[in-house]
Amino acid sequence: MADETYKGEFYCVKCKEKRETEGNVVVSESGRKMAKGICPVCGTKLNRILGKA
C-alpha cells in the first residue's frame, strides 16, 4: 500500500464546504483506511475515512 493516493471530496471543517482534492491513504491505529489531504482554499488538514483496511 505504499504511495497509495485518494482523489475525491473531503469536507473542510474550517470552510464548512466540500472540497475536491487529493490525499495520501494511511491506516489508522484502529485499523481503518483514511485519506489525509490539505484544503486548497484555506490550507487546513483534511481527513476522510474510507473503510476497514
- Quick one: pLDDT at residue 2? 59
pLDDT digits (tens, 9 = 90+) for 23-42: 999 999 988 999 999 999 99
Q: Is there a contact between 48 and 35 (Cβ–Cβ < 8 Å)?
A: yes
Residue 28 per-residue DSSP state: -
Confidence of residue 53 (pLDDT cuts 50, 70, 90): low
The residue type of 3 is D
| pLDDT of residue 1 exceeding 60 | no
Residue 23 per-residue DSSP state: E
Q: Which residues contact 47 (CB under 8 A, 6 or more apart)?
A: 10, 34, 35, 36
